[in-house]
Amino acid sequence: MASQALLVMSLIIILGLNIFLVAHANYLNQDIDITWGDGRGKFLNNDTLLNLTLDQSSGSGFQSKAEYLYGKVDMQIKLVPGNSAGTVTTFYLKSQGLTWDEIDFEFLGNVSGDPYILHTNVYTQGKGDREQQFYLWFDPTAEFHNYSILWNPSHIVFYVDGKPIREFKNLEAMGVAYPKSQPMRMYGSLWNADDWATRGGLVKTNWSEGPFVASFINYNSENACIWSIDNGTTTNTPCSPSGSSSSSSSTSTSEWFSQRGMDSSSRKVLKWVQKKFMVYNYCKDKKRFWQGLPVECGAKKNIKNKNKNKNIKS
């Protein structure tokens, strides 16, 4: 039925020996509300496609109906084609309040022929300044690609088409704040940021190229822990290593929630992406952090030194 968040529509047509199956449809309006844009955000294709539009008057955006405390969320996105300079398409998690937490995918538009820049950031308690930027190894405007955020008590991992591109570890033991107590909602938007988005604001939005459109399909929050409100009281439905979650199967929840780090093959992919496609890393920006790089930037070195000291003492 159309009221279901995920509907598996199996159409079996038997013609001689031929059998055809039609795959499931993901009805975005069951999980997502369009929240701004005065009609510039629209559900299409029987609510399986969401288009956001930006023109000279306004952009548009949406948010998830649910809030989550830990989870793995996925969205397939096709970015604005052609001359998209000045535009920013986003997919991110964010909590409320003045000391919010946030985990960002931001896609910075380009002049035709130039690559998009994928801008990532992590905010904890209202403080960000943890940017890493990447080129992509494909044209993100030609077809849909999958972008994922994994957030559990041990680390945050950004994925593109299943490939890890960035990891932010929980280093509270070293005094680094980590998002762990504020529920976050998923957001998406398309907006004008030509004061900074393309070459630091040097290239402005060419409105004659508009209106600009970014498309979204297949939002997946099945592996996310919903923060619910019962009788006016906010309660968390916790995830646990054994897999108890209101929105996840025990197997899938255990897999992502219990993950403390990446295996060797994932680590190898991460290194490949960062070596070949990273164009900015805040941990290498000594000019910006002239008084000293953030603590987490020297985490590996500090951990090695601690281990050496332990071995010496023993």
Are 100 and 87 in contact by the 8 Å Cβ rule? The answer is: no
Q: Quick one: which of 138, 156, 159, 135 has its CA closest to 147?
A: 159
Q: Is 102 a catalytic residue?
A: yes
For 164, phi and psi rounded to 5 degrees? Answer: -70, 130
Q: Which of 102, 131, 167, 255 is catalytic?
A: 102
For the chain, list the strands marked E by DSSP: 6-7, 13-15, 18-20, 25-26, 32-36, 41-44, 49-54, 60-78, 87-94, 102-108, 117-123, 132-134, 145-151, 155-160, 163-169, 184-192, 212-230, 233-236, 278-281
Q: Is 296 a catalytic residue?
A: no
Are 67 and 33 in contact by the 8 Å Cβ rule? The answer is: no
- The radius of gyration computed from the CA coordinates of the chain, to the nearest angstrom, equals 21
Integer Cα distance of 239 and 259 in angstroms = 12
Q: Which of 106, 131, 167, 296 is catalytic?
A: 106
Which are the contacts of 270, defined by CB distance < 8 A and separation ≥ 6?
Answer: 164, 165, 166, 167, 262
Active-site residue set: 102, 106
